[in-house]
Amino acid sequence: MNTKWIILAVVIIAVVLLFYFTGVDNISPKKEMPSPTPSMQADMEHAGHVHSLELPEVSQVQLAIKNIQEESFPDMKLVPGEKTKLAGTEYSLMATEFYTHWNFDGRPVNISYKELNPAIKIEVFEGDSLLYHQWAFKNVPFFGMGGMNHPGGMAKDLGFALVSYEGLKMPTPESKTGEME
C-alpha cells in the first residue's frame, strides 16, 4: 500500500516540475493580444521604436557574395524587385525588403528611419522556384550563412553582405503610421 502512495507522489511531483520548468499552462485561458490602438502606436513612436508598415526604398544595392566553401563572387548590383542571374551558378537573386534600422521583434521590423543597421532581404531562386531567403546586412557581413536550413531542407549555399545602396527614399508622412526620426 505504501508503495502505491510513493509512486503516486513521485508522479505528481514529476508533473508539477514538468509544468514549472517548461512553462506549459493548460489551465489558464489563452489571452489574445490586442491590436495596437492609435494611442499605443503613438507611445511606441515616441519611445523611438516606429514599427511602420511602410519601408524605405532604394533604387539599387551592391552585394558581396560568398558560397559555403568561402569562394567569393564578383560584387553584384541588384535593382529591388528584379530577378538577376548570378553568373556561374544555377541561381537568380532578387532584393526585396529594405530596412534602415533592421531589428527582430517576432518578425523583421524597421525600428527607426536612422541608418543604424541597414539590411535587405535577398531571395534565392533556382528557375522560378524560391529556394530560400537570406538577409544582407551592412554591419554584419554574411550573417546566417551556411548551417541554417530553408524549407526544402537544403543548407543555404550563399551568404551576402550589403556593400552599399543608392537612391534611399523614406516613406512620406502620409504613407506610414509613425513619424520620421
Rounded to 5, what percent of the chain is helix, strand, coil?
20, 40, 45
Task: Pick the closest to residue 110 from 176, 36, 39, 37 (CA basis).
Answer: 176
Q: Return the ∠ at Cα 167 (arms to 165 and 168), rounded to 5°.
A: 80
The grid coordinates of residue 92 equal: 537568380
Q: What is the pLDDT of residues 25-47, one digit of tens each?
A: 444 444 444 444 443 444 444 44
Each residue's pLDDT tens digit, 81-115: 999 999 989 999 999 999 999 999 889 999 999 99
Alpha helix positions (H), the chain = 2-22, 38-46
Do 146 and 68 contact (CB within 8 A), yes or no? yes
pLDDT value at position 160? 94
Question: What's the pLDDT score for residue 180?
Answer: 40
Whether the CB-CB separation of 64 and 163 falls below 8 Å is answered with yes
pLDDT of residue 144 exceeding 80, the answer is no
Q: Is the pLDDT of residue 131 over 70?
A: yes
Do residues 68 and 160 make contact, with C-beta atoms less than 8 angstroms apart?
no
